[in-house]
Amino acid sequence: MSSGTFTPRPGAAPYPRMVTAQARMETKLLLRNGEQLLLAVVIPLIVLIGGLLASRRFDLGIEGHPIDLLVPGVLALAVMSTSFTSLAIATGFERRYGVLKRLGSSPLPRSGLLLGKVGALLVVELLQLVVLGGTGLLLGWQPNLTAAGVVGALLVALLGTAAFASLGLLLAGTLRAEATLAAANLVYLLLLAGGAVVLPASAYGGAGGSLAWLPSGALGEGLRTAFIDGALPVRDLLVLAAWAVAGTLLTARTFRWE
């Protein structure tokens, strides 16, 4: 037997491996939770199909093909539901039950924990894109896939995820779990109905100009600009970046791990 074959090597795993393992676990927890799947896939699908049926019966003030406007908006809704509502609720109850406290004392740094959560969000959002985008294509969606539009859509999705994730963590880190549950769902419903995320800001009349400065409005308008016009939505990217920075700074100052 060679010397040192069974010599223990105590110590933490490399940082990238820890983050990957945490992201994998967070993804499994998200996908196993029925409520999270409802927010991530089922509700956006209902909004897409219901909006398309409603556009055929009622005048929703939508110009052009309704499906081309609805799919980017529903994709924006999916990003918001996963990165804000689902993250806030899950993190709030993890904080209540002491999960965050225990993870914070593990070899995994707190930055690694947050990166793991963000990685899980991106995996779920990729699955949402496949399901919702595929459904949209079956229903006649014809996106304008230019190089600028594809890059713009990716940047909007990433910055939208960062903005809403920071706001979700802000809720989860300052409120009790039950209050986080109520507040996250309430904000989600308000933005779904009047945040210019599914329908364009122009559909809200005079209030549309103000709604475009909300993270929901910037996310929806940005994806519509990218997929319909095939252009880089610079203004919406700047709005989302500002929300992401502001949310991150507030979360860093107020987040409580227990």
- Nearest to residue 116, comparing CAs of 229, 23, 242, 226? 23
Say what the pTM is.
0.87
Q: Span 185-192, mean pLDDT?
A: 91
pLDDT at res. 116: 81
**pLDDT digits 0-9 by tens, 26-81:** 787 777 776 777 777 888 999 999 888 887 776 655 666 888 889 999 999 999 99
Query: Is the pLDDT assigned to residue 7 strictly greater than 70?
Result: no
Q: What is the dihedral of CA 207, 241, 223, 153, to 10 degrees?
A: 170
Contact 4, 98 (CB under 8 A): no
With helix as H, strand as E and coil as C, how does 166-222 read?
A: HHHHHHHHHCCHHHHHHHHHHHHHHHHHHCCCCCCHHHHHHHHHHHCCCHHHHHHHH
Report the alpha-carbon distance of residue 200 to residue 63 in Å, rounded: 10
pLDDT at res. 227: 94
**Residue 2 maps to a domain:** no
Cα R_g (the chain), whole angstroms: 20
Lowest mean pLDDT among 33-42, 124-133, 168-177, 245-254: 33-42
**Residue 9 maps to a domain:** no
Work out the widest C-alpha separation in the chain, in whole angstroms: 81
Lowest mean pLDDT among 38-42, 128-132, 137-141, 153-157: 38-42
pLDDT at res. 57: 74
Rounded to whole angstroms, what are the CA distances from 246 to 79, 106, 157, 166, 167? Answer: 19, 29, 18, 8, 9
Query: Is the pLDDT assigned to residue 152 strictly greater than 90?
Result: yes
**Got the DSSP string for 220-245?**
HHHHHIIIII----HHHHHHHHHHHH
What are 231's two structure tokens?
A: 């252009």
Query: Is the pLDDT assigned to residue 1 strictly greater than 70?
Result: no
Query: Is the pLDDT assigned to residue 250 strictly greater than 80?
Result: yes
Contacts of 247 (CB under 8 A, 6+ apart): 163, 165, 166, 167, 169, 170
**Residue 25 maps to a domain:** yes
How sure is the predictor about 10, in pLDDT bands with cuts at 50, 70 and 90?
Answer: low
Average pLDDT value over all residues in the chain: 85
**Residue 3 maps to a domain:** no
Q: How many CA atoms lie within 13 A of 193 on its CB side?
A: 6
**Residue 54 maps to a domain:** yes
Helix (H, G, I), strand (E, B), or coil: what is residue 143?
A: coil
Report the alpha-carbon distance of residue 174 to residue 100 in Å, rounded: 14
DSSP structure class, residue 139: T
**pLDDT digits 0-9 by tens, 88-103:** 888 888 888 777 777 6
Higher per-residue confidence, 237 vs 210: 237
Q: Span 132-156, mean pLDDT?
A: 93
Domain that holds residue 232: 15-254
Q: How many CB atoms lie within 10 A of CB 102?
A: 12
Count of structural domains within the chain: 1
**Residue 4 maps to a domain:** no
What are 190's two structure tokens?
A: 């308000």
pLDDT at res. 183: 92
